[in-house]
Structure 1
């Protein structure tokens, strides 16, 4: 069963073979968690949202329309993150004011730590949609076409938006040096 594609496995899940979801979970939970961690900068919230993503994937398995599974699961993750962000916004908290709890791994040199901190600061300064595009494309390695499917856009528009977001990130980064 592990030789089946993501799409074949999800079709089985949508036909009530829920055991197959464990294979999809194994394939995607770390990617989804890392995507959410970059978006929230909070390990606990990212874990909670990741669990909710797979819960909703099972709950709404009948809505899967045999498209690309990764686009479908990332769309669920984006929607849940967006709901979370809106709830936080409604509590008069801004994304950049949320207390960050990310554990820092040891890094060889102080210079690398400073560069990473400056880049993360610049990333936080981007608006949420630009940050999301940069994270999906540059950190997660998701191709423009797939991001287009996830966001309901065209590949050309996504490529342009990512290019502009990278320039904004570069400007923010250079201002912080």
Structure 2
């Protein structure tokens, strides 16, 4: 079973390398396929960083345009997704600076969705509370949590994406978890689905 899984992973990696090479040569079908493959994950990353759907769509689109335009600069020795998310991270930061969204705007949008006590206990509401708490974290903490817990990057991949020492990444994830727990406890909010995993190991 493990051998079959390993073979499938190898084939997937080979297929992606071929796709990247074709896209770099200007093959429009390959470029479209690459964009389609990465749009969902890039959008999710941007949405969690920017906390606004419209901004996230713009940032994701800009990211993928940059990816296609800069394929000739991609180093095949690096994991492709790590390179893509590095571009997404820089694009999201540019978007934050350009539009200067504030926490108050996010709070107002969130408050508009609360129309009844029943909705307060819904899964969507709890997920929005987690989204809000993540938004209150400093950017350097939020980005490592998003990459580690939501995009499932390994520590080393995060270090490469953010161009940080591995020890710095591990320390930031620990501090980010602890800060997120503090935000929940201070606000007396029930932990949303997925929060336990995000803040696990933050005690002590």
Against the structure 1 CA distance between its residues 120 and 18, is the aligned structure 2 distance closer, same or farther, given a 3 Å change threshold?
same
Q: Could you say which residue in structure 2 is the equivalent of 1:10?
A: 20
Deviation at 1:53, TM superposition (A): 1.1
Deviations 1:71-99 (A, max 9, x none): 1110111111111111234xxx53x1345
- Alpha-carbon distance in 2 for matches of 1:174, 1:150: 31
Q: Considering only aligned residues, what root-mean-square deviation do their CA atoms show, in Å? A: 2.7
Q: Could you say which residue in structure 2 is the equivalent of 1:126?
A: 137
Against the structure 1 CA distance between its residues 5 and 143, is the aligned structure 2 distance closer, same or farther, given a 3 Å change threshold?
farther
Is 2:2 aligned against 1:23? no
Against the structure 1 CA distance between its residues 147 and 41, is the aligned structure 2 distance closer, same or farther, given a 3 Å change threshold?
same
Hey, which bits of structure 1, 4+ residues long, moved more than 3 A? 2-5, 97-104, 111-118
Structure 1 or 2, whichever has the larger Rg, is: 2
Q: Could you say which residue in structure 2 is the equivalent of 1:63?
A: 73
- Which of 87, 90, 93 aligns to 1:82? It is 93
Structure 2 gap ranges (5+) = 1-10, 189-204
- Which of 53, 70, 75 aligns to 2:63? It is 53
The answer to whether the 8 A contact 1:118-1:176 is kept is no
- Alpha-carbon distance in 1 for matches of 2:129, 2:109: 17
Structure 1 gap ranges (5+) = none
State the TM-score, normalizing by the size of structure 1. Answer: 0.82
Against the structure 1 CA distance between its residues 5 and 160, is the aligned structure 2 distance closer, same or farther, given a 3 Å change threshold?
farther
Deviations 1:17-60 (A, max 9, x none): 33212222222110111111111121111111111111111112
- Alpha-carbon distance in 2 for matches of 1:18, 1:61: 13
State the TM-score, normalizing by the size of structure 2. Answer: 0.72
- Alpha-carbon distance in 1 for matches of 2:36, 2:122: 35
Q: Which has the higher contact order (CA 8 A, sep 6+)?
A: 1
Q: Could you say which residue in structure 2 is the equivalent of 1:159?
A: 170
